């Protein structure tokens, strides 16, 4: 599982691991339940960056530094998936034509709009987010994929990069992911806020997943990227509102 976890990090981040990682499908399959921990590593990288940005009297400087760091660490891999998903789902087409559009290397108008909105949302939300939100939002985003894909099949007939992940996310991986989220929320000094925010975010993620499943019959690697980015934004928005209410 440790070997598979390193493969997960190499797949979904730009953290340099050098010769430590050699691809092994069986090891990767066994470690999929730890996908949310990859988000925790990203969050831990963002924590010192948060303090660096906090030294500035201009709030938006913190936001741009945090967003830039997040993009560098992740390689913006999920932004690309989100753009492809929006291009396909909003194309007005049906069946395999949606998958063809999503697989096209060219980005469409809807995809561009999606990326612009996501970047703007993330920039503004990170500018106002607390330290604990910055730590947890990458965890919640990746947890949404594990939980969402646990009741979905791989949508395409032909196998793709997302097949291994989607088809191996089941009840065991979901339970492990939920336990990780609960433990992290109870460790933090703002337990009630985070538990409520996480709960709302995961419920919305499940609703989005059901909508995608009804549209194309399941999930793909691209739709996972879309789900992750939307869930992260929902979590940050929800936390900001709850912090102000409580």
Domain that holds residue 54: 2-245
Number of domains into which the chain is organized: 1
* CA proximity to 38, closest of 116, 145, 151, 110: 145
Alpha-carbon distance 51 to 44, whole Å? 12
Q: Report pLDDT for 1.
A: 61
Would you say 63 and 126 are in contact if contact means Cβ atoms under 8 Å apart?
yes
Alpha-carbon distance 111 to 83, whole Å? 4
**pLDDT mean by block of 10 residues, the chain; 246 residues:** 83 83 80 93 95 80 95 94 93 84 89 96 95 96 95 85 85 94 93 94 96 94 95 97 87
Alpha-carbon distance 189 to 158, whole Å? 46
Q: Report pLDDT for 224.
A: 95
């Amino acid at each position: 599982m440790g070997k598979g976890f390193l493969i997960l990090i190499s797949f979904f981040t730009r953290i340099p691991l050098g010769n430590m990682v050699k691809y092994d499908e069986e090891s990767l399959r066994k470690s999929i339940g730890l996908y949310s921990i990859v988000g925790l590593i990203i969050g831990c990288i963002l924590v010192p960056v948060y303090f660096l940005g906090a030294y500035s009297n201009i709030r938006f400087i913190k936001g741009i530094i945090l967003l830039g760091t997040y993009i560098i660490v992740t390689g913006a891999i999920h932004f690309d998936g989100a753009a492809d998903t929006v291009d396909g789902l909003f194309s007005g087409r049906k069946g395999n034509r949606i998958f063809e559009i999503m697989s096209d290397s060219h980005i469409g108008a809807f995809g561009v709009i999606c990326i612009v909105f996501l970047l703007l949302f993330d920039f503004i939300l990170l500018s106002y987010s607390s330290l604990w939100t910055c730590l947890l939002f990458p965890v919640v985003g990746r947890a949404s994929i594990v939980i969402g894909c646990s009741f979905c099949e791989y949508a395409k007939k032909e196998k793709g990069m997302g097949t291994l992940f989607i088809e191996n996310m089941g009840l065991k991986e979901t339970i492990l992911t939920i336990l990780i989220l609960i433990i992290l929320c109870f460790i933090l000094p703002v337990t009630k806020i985070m538990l409520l925010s996480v709960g709302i975010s995961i419920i919305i993620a499940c609703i989005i997943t059901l909508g995608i499943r009804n549209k194309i019959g399941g999930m793909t690697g691209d739709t996972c990227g879309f789900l992750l980015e939307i869930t992260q934004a929902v979590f940050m928005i929800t936390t900001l509102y709850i912090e102000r209410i409580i």
